[in-house]
A and B are shown apart, each in its own frame.
Chain A
Amino acid sequence: MTEIEEHGGVATASAADAPTEQLPPVRPGPGSAAGPDGAGAVGRLSSLETRDLSAWFGDHKVLERVSLTMAPGEVTALIGPSGCGKSTYLRILNRMHEMVKSAQLAGQVLLDGADIYSPGRRPADVRARVGMVFQRPNPFPAMSIYDNVVSGLKLAGIRAGKARRDELVETSLTQAGLWIEVRNRLRAPGGALSGGQQQRLCIARSLAVEPDVLLMDEPCSALDPTSTRRVEETIADLRGRLTIVIVTHNMQQAARVSQSCAFFLATHDTPGRIVEAGPTRQLFEDPQDERTSDYVNGRFG
């Protein structure tokens, strides 16, 4: 394939950072959007930014020069019809994209100003800082609820004493809004919970490794309305504690949980790109682009 396009900044994933100017790490203060919930936050909030991000599967281009900043401590929603590259974009943000063999990308993904695709960085380290919750709840079936929550420690090779683990289980489950429901059966298998509980368990599991950013890929699309509401409450609680990026097909959900929003669109012969991005309220109430207006008002997609 051709690696160099229009003006030279495009390269394959393995050499993604060749012509980058490294910015000094940005240490943002508590995000402006951090509401009263932010009181218990860990102080340090991370920003995530992509610059001219393009992605391919083989020779098929799925994303075209996506530049987006996800503000620290805020919830950013990515909306758009199926196949517009939202999920691919999300998976690029924590280096899950490269799990597909033919995947390539160009451009930069900056976590606190440093490119997560620079050659020296291990994917596992990036993923420990940028957690992910998947579309279908996927607790580890061979582990108890307790072990599911602390599984991240084991998988990342972090040793922790029993007291530390106990504390981590309680804080993570409390943050995910599940503690009261499961505190008396922490040793029960994770698969025995209901779908919504399983998804909150997965959120707790991601929180237990204390990530700076949490990515959520349609976290409620496999859940019933009540469970969806509980997960949304959890997201609202987490706002201000860490940076959240959520992909959703549900426009009302995007409006409820997010502070800023990005609308992705792909037509059948062009790759996905951002049509419009900005504060959620503006995107829904006063969209600048006609296509955004059509989409948020349910006229297509």
Chain B
Amino acid sequence: MTLIDTAASGGATGGGTAYLDADSGQVRVRPGSVTAADVGTLAGAAVGALGLVWLVYERIMPWSGALGFWLCWYVAFLFFYWGIARTQWEVRHVREKIAAALFTGAGIFVLAVLVDLVGYVWWRGEKAVSHGNFLTTDMQKTGPLDGLNSGGVLHAMIGSLEQLGLATLFAVPLGIAAAVFMSEIGGRLARPVRTVITAMTALPSIVAGLFVLGSVILALGYDRSGFAASLALTVMMMPIVTRASEVVIRIVPNTLREASYALGGSQWRTVWNVVLPTARSGLTTAILLGMARAVGETSPVLLTAGFTSGKNANPFSGQQVSLPLYVWNYVRYPQADMKVRAFGGALTLMAIVMILFVAARIAGGRRPGELSRRRRRQMTRERIRGAGPSAAAPRPPAVRPAPTAAAVIHPEPEPAS
């Protein structure tokens, strides 16, 4: 293909990139694609605004600071972009371009904040994580003046994972059961339940900690422990799982429920075999939202888990530290190395969240009807053998054509879901 034209065709409405099609001799245009004029306008506005703002900001006005600089640049850029675009295109088209620039800018801003956040934690904590002992030892034998080659977050990692695991174990069945109740059974009681759950999503996390402190630790005389902390996290996690699950269960089409009832299914079997499997991908998201909330909580854990610098793998007895608590505790030390450890702990926390999310997505994030990789391979094998799993069943020979060579070499393309 020969590129014959890029900018010239970019008339009032953008035009497109054009190629000469070798086979037919026709000019192929991809309408709406980015043209050189688009890129030039954008780059011109960006560079022009940068020059002007630099002049004003650094040479004329007595201002300083990166944030203000880039804010001024963005505003100037929008004006420049408008001006340059207006010389080529009509108003409505320019307005569209400006709107696109605004939304893109907002997106980039959010991304920049996130990158800044993660980058800052990385920058501060990287020195701790680069020591091999950080992930494999606890703080039992490490004092405030010891260097980074001593001590680590192992005990806090164990605590975080155990507390999160227990909280998930409690909150997910409770939350999904409540969601099923509200959306499938309903009735008069559903509304107050929904109101309470909604109120609980806005519950200040310190209140959850106080609740468990009052009811489990002070009233029942149970010691501060990982288990008590996981109960507090359950209080935080359950309403989020419930609300999100209810939404995804509601969007399961009613026709599927009807189909199930029409086959003689009871309500319970319909929920178990049809509604929940269909909503599986959304339920995974609901559980992830809850876990994300729980794993980073500090205040409920602060009141209920206690603190220890040593390893305690038993969540049911003895105090147990978790990563947010570890960060909160050590970042208050005056020693620089302790602060680095705290940021290392935060980095570890982010890494754990990331790993959990990826794992959960792989395990449960498929849409209904989409096949896992293992199933796809299995299907391909079955197809190559030329028969489905019922090959053993008796079958009239007339309807069993032998698998053709073509079918073996070119199995049908995988149907997209």
Contact = CB atoms under 8 A, between A and B. Distances in A.
Interface of A: 94, 96, 99, 123-125, 127-128, 131-132, 134, 136, 138, 140-143, 146, 151-152, 154-157, 163, 166-167, 169-170, 174, 179-180, 183-192, 202, 205-206, 209
A136 B255 contact: yes
A151 B388 contact: no
Nearest to B263: A152
A170 B390 CA distance: 8
B277 A142 contact: yes
Given A141-B417, A185-B379, 13 more contacts: A94-B262, A99-B261, A124-B264, A127-B263, A142-B274, A142-B368, A154-B269, A154-B273, A155-B265, A166-B390, A185-B383, A185-B388, A188-B371
A132 B314 CA distance: 55
A187 B263 contact: no
Nearest to A129: B264
Given A134-B255, A166-B389, A180-B399, A187 B382 contact: yes
Closest 8 CB pairs of A and B: A128-B264, A155-B265, A192-B415, A189-B369, A166-B390, A142-B277, A186-B388, A141-B368
A188 B261 contact: no
B393 A167 contact: yes
A202 B260 CA distance: 11
A142 B228 CA distance: 38
Nearest to B262: A132
A197 to B, nearest CB: 11
A127 B370 CA distance: 30
A12 B280 CA distance: 39
Nearest to A138: B255
A183 B415 contact: no
A131 B369 contact: no
Contacts, number: 142
Contact of B262 (A127, A154, A180): A127
Interface in B160-200: none
Residue among A155, A185, A189 having the largest count of chain B Cβ atoms under 10 Å: A155
Nearest to A135: B255
A127 B264 contact: yes
Nearest to B367: A141
B263 A184 contact: no
B261 A96 contact: yes
Contacts of A151: 260, 263, 273-274
B365 to A, nearest CB: 13
B386 interface: yes
Interface residues of B, number: 44
A300 to B, nearest CB: 30
What DSSP secondary structure best describes chain A's contact surface?
helix
A193 to B, nearest CB: 8
Contact of B280 (A125, A142, A174): A142
A190 B379 CA distance: 14
A100 B122 CA distance: 58
Contacts of B383: 184-185
B58 interface: no
Contacts of A156: 263-265, 269
A191 B368 CA distance: 9
B278 A191 contact: no
Nearest to B378: A187
B395 interface: yes
Contacts of A141: 256, 278, 368-369, 417
B387 interface: yes
Contacts of A154: 269, 273
Contacts of A157: 266, 269
A48 to B, nearest CB: 15
Contacts of B394: 167
B288 to A, nearest CB: 19
Contact of A170 (B265, B378, B395): B395
Nearest to A208: B263
A94 B263 CA distance: 10
